[in-house]
Amino acid sequence: MNLSSLNDQQRAAVRHTEGPLLLLAGAGSGKTRVITSRIAYLLKNRGVTSEAILAVTFTNKAAREMRERVESMVDRRQAKGMVISTFHALCVRILKEDIEQLGYKKNFSIYGGADQLRLIRDLLQEINTGLRKYDADRVLYLISDAKNRLIAPDTFQPRHGDEYSGVVAAIYPRYQRALKAFNAVDFDDLIMLTVRLLQDKPAVLEKYQQRFRYLMVDEYQDTNAAQYRLLRLLARGHNNLCVVGDDDQSIYGWRGADLGNILDFEKDFPGTMVIRLEQNYRSTGNILAAANAVIRNNRKRKAKALWTAGGPGDMIDYLLCDDDEDEARTVVERIMAEKFRASLNYRDFAILFRTNVQSRAFEEQLRYQNVPYVLIGGQQFFDRKEVKDVLAYFRVLLNPRDEVNLLRILNTPRRGIGDTSADRLIRFSAEHELPMWQVLQDAAQVDGLGEKTLEAIGRFVQLMDSYRRRFRVGRLSETGRELLEELRFEDDLLRTAQDPERARRRMANVAEVVNAMASYEQREAQPTLEGFLEKVSLLDRDEPPRQDKDAKLQRDAVVLMSLHASKGLEFPCVFLVGMEEDLLPHKKSVEESFDIEEERRLCYVGITRAQQKLSLLGTSRRKKYGVMQTRAASRFLEEIPGEVLRRSIGDAPSTSTEEEKDQLARTAFANIKSMLGD
Q: What is the DSSP string of 175-226?
A: HHHHHHHTTEEEHHHHHHHHHHHHHH-HHHHHHHHHH--EEEESSGGG--HH
Check the annotation: does 27 bind a ligand. Answer: yes
**Which CATH code for domain 383-538?**
1.10.486.10
Work out the burial of residue 322: count CB atoms within 10 Å of its CB; fewer than 13 is exposed, 13-18 middle, 19 or more buried. buried
**Which CATH code for domain 109-182?**
1.10.10
Mean pLDDT check: name the lowest of 423-427, 545-549, 612-616: 545-549
Count Cβ atoms below 10 Å from residue 211 Cβ, excluding itself: 15
Query: How far does the chain reach from its first CA to its final CA, in angstroms?
Result: 55
- Rounded Cα distance, 40 and 25, in Å: 19
Element (H or E) spanning 629, and its range? strand 627-630
DSSP string spanning 637-648?
GGGS-GGGEEEE
Query: Which is catalytic among the residues 218, 248, 322, 324?
Result: 218
Check the annotation: does 29 bind a ligand. Answer: yes
The predicted pLDDT at position 544 comes to 43
Count Cβ atoms below 10 Å from residue 645 Cβ, excluding itself: 19
Query: What is the average per-residue pLDDT within 36-62?
Result: 92
**What are the residue ranges of helices labelled H in 319-450?**
324-342, 359-368, 385-398, 403-409, 419-431, 436-441
* Active site (annotated) includes residue 218: yes
* Conformation bin of residue 70: beta by default, left when phi > 0, alpha when psi is -120 to 50: alpha
Query: Which is catalytic among the residues 15, 17, 32, 302?
Result: 32
Nearest partner of 142 among 111, 114, 115, 167, judged by Cα: 167
* Conformation bin of residue 548: beta by default, left when phi > 0, alpha when psi is -120 to 50: alpha
Q: What is the 3-state secondary structure (H, E, C) of 534-587?
A: HHHHCCCCCCCCHHHHHHHHHCCCEEEEEHHHHCCCCEEEEEECCCECEECCEH
Q: Which whole-number Å values give the CA distances from 157 to 69, 151, 152, in the listed order?
A: 46, 9, 10
Check the annotation: does 26 bind a ligand. Answer: yes
- Rounded Cα distance, 220 and 265, in Å: 10
Nearest partner of 193 among 156, 223, 150, judged by Cα: 150
Crossing angle between the packed helical segments 385-398 and 500-523, to the nearest 10 degrees: 40
Residue span(s) of the chain under CATH 1.10.486.10 come to: 383-538
DSSP secondary structure code for residue 23 in this structure = E
Res 661 pLDDT > 70: no
* Active site (annotated) includes residue 159: no
Per the CB < 8 A criterion, the answer to whether 255 and 542 are in contact is yes
- Rounded Cα distance, 261 and 673, in Å: 34
Check the annotation: does 81 bind a ligand. Answer: no
Query: What is the average per-residue pLDDT within 589-607?
Result: 82
Per the CB < 8 A criterion, the answer to whether 395 and 111 are in contact is no
Res 482 pLDDT > 60: yes
- Angle subtended at Cα 490 by Cα 487 and Cα 492, rounded to the nearest 5 degrees: 75
The predicted pLDDT at position 590 comes to 64
Query: Which is catalytic among the residues 221, 227, 249, 365?
Result: 249
DSSP β-bridge partners for residue 571:
610
Q: Which residue has the higher pLDDT, 30 or 535?
A: 30
* Active site (annotated) includes residue 219: yes
Query: Which is catalytic among the residues 188, 219, 326, 490?
Result: 219
The predicted pLDDT at position 548 comes to 61
Res 385 pLDDT > 90: no
Residue span(s) of the chain under CATH 1.10.10 come to: 109-182
Could you tell me what percent of the chain has a pLDDT over 70? Answer: 90
Query: Which is catalytic among the residues 600, 609, 635, 647?
Result: 609
The predicted pLDDT at position 511 comes to 82
DSSP three-state, residue 240? coil
* Active site (annotated) includes residue 249: yes
- Rounded Cα distance, 289 and 296, in Å: 11
In CATH terms, the fold of domain 8-99+190-279 is Rossmann fold (3.40.50)
Q: Which whole-number Å values give the CA distances from 532 to 92, 391, 535, 538, in the listed order?
A: 13, 10, 5, 10
Nearest partner of 365 among 322, 327, 323, judged by Cα: 327
Per the CB < 8 A criterion, the answer to whether 224 and 113 are in contact is no
Check the annotation: does 114 bind a ligand. Answer: no
- Angle subtended at Cα 157 by Cα 151 and Cα 159, rounded to the nearest 5 degrees: 125
Sign, CA torsion 206/212/216/222: negative
The predicted pLDDT at position 664 comes to 44
Residue span(s) of the chain under CATH 3.40.50.300 come to: 8-99+190-279, 316-372+556-649
Check the annotation: does 223 bind a ligand. Answer: no
The predicted pLDDT at position 159 comes to 84
In CATH terms, the fold of domain 316-372+556-649 is Rossmann fold (3.40.50)
Res 668 pLDDT > 60: no
The predicted pLDDT at position 622 comes to 83
